[in-house]
Structures are given as C-alpha cells and as structure tokens.
Amino acid sequence: MIDIKLIRDDKELVKENIRKKFQDEKLPLVDQVLELDKEVRDLKKEGDILRASRNSISSEIGQLMRNGNKDEAENKKNKVKEINEKLIDMEMRETSLNDKIKQIMMKIPNIMDSSVPIGEDDTHNVENERFGEPVVPNYEIPHHADICESLGGLDKESAGRTSGNGFYYLMGDVARLHSAMIAYARDFMIDKGFTYCVPPFMIRSDVVDGVMSFEEMDAMMYKIENEDLYLIGTSEHSMIGKFKGQLLDEKELPIMMTSYSPCFRKEVGSHGIEERGLYRVHQFEKEEMVVLCKAEDGMNWYNKLWNYTVEFFRSLDIPVRTLECCSGDLADLKVKSCDVEAWSPRQKKYFEVGSCSILGDAQARRLSIRAKGSEGNYLVTTLNNTVVASPRGLIAVIENNYQEDGSILIPKVLQPYMGGKERIEKK
C-alpha cells in the first residue's frame, strides 16, 4: 500500500504506474481516494471549528453560573450538547470514510522501480544472466515422475485416494534427497548470517491482508473453516507478520531470517494442477529468506538475496538463470522481482525454482512495522526470496544428475545429509 500523500502530491505518477501494469480498470480508484480524502479533511476542519466553539461556550457557562444567569447557562449547555452529538456523528462518518479509503488504497499497486521492464504478462519477462553451462546428455531423460517411481520414491495414486489430485507421497531415498536439500538450504543460509526460524503455518486474516493483494489471496490461500485462520502459501507471510505493530530499534536492522515451512496453495488459475508430476502441487516444502532493512539498503539486499539462490543451486552443480519480471507479471505489492530458473535437460529449457522480491514499505505500512531512528520513526523495507522449494528443487537435482542406468548421483554437498550415500539406484 502506497502513502496517500503520494496520491495527493502526484496522482498522475500513480496513474501512470497503473497503466504500466496494464490495470486500467484501477485508474478510477485514484480519483475516488482523492474525493474521499477531501471529505475527510473537510470533516476534520469542521470538527476543529466545532471543538473550538464548544470550548469557548463551555468557558462561558461557568461565568454565567457564577453571575446567577442560570437560564442562559442552560441554553449554553444545550448548545454544547448539540455540538457533542454532531461531533459524534462526524467522527463516525470520518471513521467510515477512512475505512473506505484504506480498502481502495489496498487495491492500488505499489510504485515499481524504474528498472522494471514494461510488458503485459510473463512472456515479456527478460533474461538477465546465466550461471553454469547447460548440459543435455546423449541419452534420454524420462519424466521426473517416471524416474522417481522407478526408484520407489513417488506414489501419487495413493495420495489421490487420501487427499485428491495435487498431492503425493515421497518415499525412500527420494524422500531423503528431498529432506537433505531442505536441510542443506537451512545450513547454507545460517552460514550467511541468517537466523533460522520455524514459523506458524497458519495466520490470521489481518496478517494475510498485510502481506499480499486480494487477488493473490483468492488464488492461493486455503481458509480454515469457522476460524479466522489461513494455511500459509509461503513462510514469508508469517515471518513478516511476526513484526506486525512493532516499533523496532534501528540498531536491530537489518533483520535477516531464514525459515522452513510446508506451504499450501490452491493453485487457482489457467495453469492449474499438474496431473502427473510434481511441478505444480497443492502442498510443498520450502526454505525461505526474509530481510527487514532501511529503505536506502533495500536494493543492495535485493541483489544479495537472488545471488544467494544462484550460489545455492550452483553448489549443487545445477545451471540456472535469472529472469527479470516485467510490469504485468509483478504482484501489486512488489517494487521489483526476479525469478531464478533451473536448467531442465529433459525439456531443454529453464523452469522456475525461486523468486526474489523487494516490496518497499508496502507490507510495513499495512502491518504498521516501524523502526525508531535518531530522526524519528519510519516504515521499514521488506524483502523475501526462495532459497529452495521442493519438489521443484528436487526435480532440478534429479534431472541434472540422472544417469543412463537409471540411477541418480547425489550432489557432494548433499551426501553428508544422506549418511554419505553417493547414488540412488533402482530397487
């Protein structure tokens, strides 16, 4: 959510930002906010005049009573009562208007960074840089689901009976490989100086409203029936929510945390749920990184974070690239975002394994997260980034380490997490 002062001072800037995101249907919201804001400010002025008049009349009442002018004093008291009743009505009106303004403001997109490429959808995302040399072996690589099943590591049929489409059982060494990758990601980030955290896996609606747009919430979140609780779609939501309503000491910044959680997503939309494999599912696990910092340090941290993910995958010897998200593919709260994509030797193309975002003070404004500095209090900047999400990360490891005999070589950095095991072989 942007600062309403920006709309007051430069509404055309806000409208142009909306146009660049190809959301012209939201353009009227800017003028609606200005109209409602004018009503609020007019009410405040009128209220100030009434309060001044009430104070003046109240001071006269005492003097009238001392002088024995009881009738006139009673008339003055009635005027004070009328003013009080009018002020109550005005304050209720002001509260109602402010609620409307907030609801509209939460639909107006954050101001994007000037470096964000302009494009209507993800087909206009721009490749930034490649890391590692993509390799296609001279033998066929089966679909990752077939590889896992041949290793006794995947059972989607049973998951369909227990839970439905979009769920799975991981078993044996494939399940161990999945857990090894998550554990290694945890230690990788701890070594970077991040504090490890296991957050709540459910959050209240006021936290959901604080960390994401309404459109994202409808497409992603599962609501717990008869409870004001939602299953998290990603752990940064509860990690940012940890600081809701807090005034932090500037000396604590930057706050750097890495978190583990299961994640739950409805995956509503044109892409749907992948019937066969593990790429798009309702439940997965993830190691995340979250940073709270000063505004002036935000972009520096943004570049550090996506580089950490690149470094993580390169330590697994997996080629990756970074892809700059264009304006139309950028979620409303984000200032700038890039995806990290891993190489798929089977498909001979890259696929998304993580996303890095800087959100400016949008989440902090919604959740009232401030820092106390020498020159006063200010909203912090928030960032988040995927270290690794499995099973997507698992798919990348399996495909890039698949051998002609059907076995999987275990990356050296993961072997200590699998008891020194070097290879997963067919049963």
Which H helix or E strand runs over 357? strand 349-358
Whole-number Å distance between alpha carbons of 272 and 280: 8
What pLDDT score does 352 carry?
Answer: 95
Give the separation between CA 353 and CA 178, rounded to whole angstroms.
14
Contacts of 325 (CB under 8 A, 6+ apart): 116, 122, 125, 334, 336, 337, 338, 339, 355
pLDDT of residue 400: 98
Q: Work out the number of other CB atoms within 10 angstroms of the CB of residue 415.
A: 16
Give me the pLDDT at residue 21, please: 96
- Rounded to 5 degrees, φ, ψ at 264 are -130, 125
Output the DSSP codes for 58-109: HHHHHHHHHTT-HHHHHHHHHHHHHHHHHHHHHHHHHHHHHHHHHHHHTTSP
Residue 75 to residue 81: CA distance in whole angstroms = 10
- Spatial separation of the C-alpha atoms in residues 62 and 72, rounded to whole Å: 11
Contacts of 68 (CB under 8 A, 6+ apart): none
Residues in the chain where the model's pLDDT stays below 70: 62, 214, 268-275
Helix (H) or strand (E) holding 57: helix 27-66
Answer yes or no: are the C-beta atoms of 143 and 392 closer than 8 Å.
no
Q: What is the pLDDT of residue 336?
A: 98
Report the pLDDT value the prediction gives residue 268, as an integer from 0 to 100. 62
Query: Taking a C-beta distance cutoff of 8 angstroms, is the pair 105, 214 a contact?
Result: no
Is 204:196 a contact under the CB 8 Å cutoff? no
Tokens of 170: 């991981």
Which structure tokens are listed for 236? 């940064």
In sequence order, the β-bridge partners of residue 169 are: 155
User: Which residue stretches of 296-351 are H helix?
Assistant: 298-315
Q: Give me the pLDDT at residue 82, please.
A: 85
Residue 247, pLDDT score: 97
What is the three-class DSSP state of 117? coil
Beta bridge partners of 36: none
Domains contained in the chain, CATH given: 4-105 (1.10.287.40), 122-424 (3.30.930.10)
Parallel, antiparallel or unpaired: strands 202-203 and 320-324: unpaired
SS3 149: helix
Rounded CA separation 319/425 (Å): 24
DSSP string, 245-269: T-EEEGGGPSEEEEEEEEEE----S
Q: H or E element: which one contains 16?
A: helix 11-20
Report the candidate in 322, 160, 390 with the shortest Cα–Cα distance to residue 398. Answer: 390
Cα–Cα distance measured from residue 183 to residue 366, given in angstroms and rounded to the nearest whole number: 33
